[in-house]
């Protein structure tokens, strides 16, 4: 447990403080009461509505500062409420009168016999913290509230407070970011599954314009060749006719021979042109490829969609991995900080918005272990004034009371056990009608 020196003024009070005397009058239900506690375990008792809670409220309010004071501190019918608390080295005096118009609050250094300068309530809160924790009520808190309280009293290795709320806020933001990345990855996965890879998909789509142009060019070439062949056939027919004419018309032989020679030359030229035309183009493979182009292009487009979906999924997966790592790093860094922290109780740790003790959730520990932990937490709230208050000690069995007594003696602390009823064994103070019973 962290230790610190109590020093309202430099060189003043250097030891821990316990209550040695309390006197109060006309405060809430209390009419007049003076009490000097003895030993480490102080038992006080009284029936309901007799003033026990008023005494505890007075102690917590005076030592814990203005935030602990009730809305109506002056007893009904009285004009003023007043009281004082003596500790080992300090005397704290408080008075409220005339509807809160007259309010005095002073702290006196008993060794020096002089008042300590400064705002008393702020000074007490700075020195001793608050006195808000009742160990039994702590056990009835929600696990998340228990964790938050632990953050109020814990210190890291450098003595700094550990803000568990700030950590949880950052943790929730990182968790939400990771969840969002996971949703994006699942959405990308769904799109990817809608566009599976295409077996033997082409490397590129078929260019229908280019293919159509090739078909038109082949058809034009074939038309030109057909015209050349037709010219050859006409020339051959003319030669045959003229050969018959030569046989029948010797008289016209010279002219016929001249015509024959001319036509022969035309035939040679036509034949040469036919040879240059080459074999006819095979249009069917081009037509078949054009007919298959739609299927080929569909396969290509499907593969492209798959590739795009795969790329988006990879980006989403990388973002999710980064968010997951950021959350893990945040949790790991905080875990290391907590491991190095000065925990109020050895074996106490925090996991997932829940306190654990000795490897088991605190809520599942034995009653003895729960009391052991919460007693130390209450002490950690104000280590320089080792006072622990149990408002409802009737629920504590003999074993629990023995444990509390042993802890109080071991740590030189003061534990107040408040019982409902009278004739409680070992009670140092019984309160009845706002007064101490002799």
167 in Cβ contact with 175 (< 8 Å): no
Is 35 among the domain residues?
Answer: no
Residue 247: the pLDDT is 65
Q: Angle at Cα 360 formed by Cα 378 and Cα 380, nearest 5°?
A: 15
Phi then psi for 84, rounded to 5 degrees?
-150, 150
Is 254 among the domain residues?
Answer: yes
State pLDDT tens for residues 245-299: 656 766 666 776 777 788 888 878 877 777 776 677 787 888 887 888 888 888 8
State pLDDT tens for residues 120-171: 767 776 666 555 567 888 888 888 777 777 776 666 667 666 777 677 788 8
Q: What is the 3-state secondary structure (H, E, C) of the chain?
A: CCCCCCCCCCCCCCCCCCEEEEEEEEECCEEEEEECCCCCEEEEEECCCCCHHHHHHHHHHHHHCHHHCCCCCECCCCCEEEEEEEECCEEEEEEEECCCCEEEEEEEECCCCEECCCCHHHHHHHHHCCCCCCHHHHHCCCHHHHHHHHHHHCECCCCCECCHHHHHHHHHHHHHHHHHHHHHHHHHHHHHHHCCCCCCCCCCCCCHHHHHHHHHHHHHHHHHHHHHHHHHHHHHHHHHHHHHHHHHCHHHHHHHHHHHHHHHHHHHHHHHHHHHHCCCCCCHHHHHHHHHHHHHHHHHHHHHHHHHHHHHHHHHHHHHHHHHHHHHHHHHHHHHHHHHCECCCCCEEEECCEEEECCEEHHHCCHHHHHHHHHHHHHHHCCCCCEEEECCHHHCCHHHHHHHHHHHHHCCCEEEEEEEECCCCCCCEEEECCEECC
Is 183 among the domain residues?
Answer: yes
> How confident is residue 21, by pLDDT bands cut at 50, 70 and 90?
very high
Residue 131: the pLDDT is 54
Is 306 among the domain residues?
Answer: yes
Is 248 among the domain residues?
Answer: yes
State pLDDT tens for residues 295-320: 888 888 888 999 998 999 999 899 99
The model's pTM is: 0.62
Domain that holds residue 265: 163-340
429 in Cβ contact with 35 (< 8 Å): yes
What residues does 105 pair with on adjacent strands?
Answer: 94
Task: Answer yes or no: is pLDDT of 1 > 50.
Answer: no
Quote the longest CA-to-CA distance of the chain: 177
Among 116-125, 223-232, 324-333, name the one with the lowest average pLDDT. 116-125
Is 179 among the domain residues?
Answer: yes
Is 252 among the domain residues?
Answer: yes
Among 13-22, 129-138, 200-209, 365-374, name the one with the lowest average pLDDT. 129-138
**Length of the chain counted residue by residue:** 438
More confident call, 239 vs 402: 402
* Overall domain count for the chain: 1
Q: Which of 267, 247, 266 is nearest to 256 (CA)?
A: 247
Is 246 among the domain residues?
Answer: yes
Q: Which of 417, 355, 398 is nearest to 134 (CA)?
A: 417
Average pLDDT, the chain: 83
Task: Answer yes or no: is pLDDT of 336 > 90.
Answer: no
């Amino acid at each position: 447990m962290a230790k610190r020196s109590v020093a309202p003024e430099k060189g003043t009070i250097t030891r821990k403080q316990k209550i040695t005397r309390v006197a109060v009058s006309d405060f809430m239900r209390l009419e007049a009461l003076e009490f000097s506690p003895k030993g480490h375990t102080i038992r006080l008792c009284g029936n309901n509505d007799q003033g026990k809670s008023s005494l505890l409220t007075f102690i917590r309010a005076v030592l814990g500062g203005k935030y602990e004071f009730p809305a109506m501190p002056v007893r009904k019918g009285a004009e003023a409420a007043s009281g004082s608390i003596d500790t080992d080295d300090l005397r704290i005096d408080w008075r409220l009168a005339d509807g809160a118009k007259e309010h005095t609050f002073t702290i006196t250094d008993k060794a020096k016999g002089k008042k300590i300068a400064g705002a008393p309530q702020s000074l007490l809160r700075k020195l001793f913290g608050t006195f808000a924790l009742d160990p039994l009520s702590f056990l009835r808190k929600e696990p998340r509230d228990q964790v938050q309280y632990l953050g109020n009293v814990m210190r890291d290795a450098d003595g700094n407070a550990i803000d568990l709320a700030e950590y949880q806020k950052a943790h929730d933001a990182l968790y939400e970011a990771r969840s969002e990345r996971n949703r994006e990855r699942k959405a990308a996965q769904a799109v990817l599954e809608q566009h599976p890879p295409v077996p033997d998909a082409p490397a590129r789509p078929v260019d229908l314009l280019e293919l159509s142009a090739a078909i038109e060019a082949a058809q034009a070439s074939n038309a030109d060749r057909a015209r050349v062949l037709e010219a050859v056939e006409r020339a051959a027919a003319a030669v045959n006719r003229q050969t018959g004419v030569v046989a029948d018309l010797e008289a016209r032989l010279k002219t016929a021979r001249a015509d024959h020679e001319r036509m022969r030359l035309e035939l040679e030229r036509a034949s040469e042109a036919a040879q240059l035309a080459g074999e006819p183009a095979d249009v069917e493979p081009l037509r078949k490829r054009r007919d298959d182009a739609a299927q080929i292009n569909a396969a290509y487009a499907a593969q492209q969609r798959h590739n795009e979906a795969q790329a988006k999924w990879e980006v989403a997966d990388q973002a999710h991995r980064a968010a997951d790592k950021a959350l893990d790093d945040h949790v790991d860094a905080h875990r290391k900080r907590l491991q190095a922290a000065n925990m109020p109780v050895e074996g106490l740790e925090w996991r997932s918005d829940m306190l654990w003790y000795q490897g088991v959730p605190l809520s599942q520990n034995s009653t003895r272990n729960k009391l052991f932990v919460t007693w130390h937490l209450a002490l950690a709230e104000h280590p320089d004034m080792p006072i622990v208050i149990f408002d409802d000690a009737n629920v504590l069995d003999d074993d629990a009371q023995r444990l509390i007594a042993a802890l109080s003696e071991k740590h030189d602390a003061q534990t107040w056990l408040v019982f409902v009823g009278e004739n409680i064994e070992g009670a140092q103070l019984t309160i009845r009608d706002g007064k101490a019973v002799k």
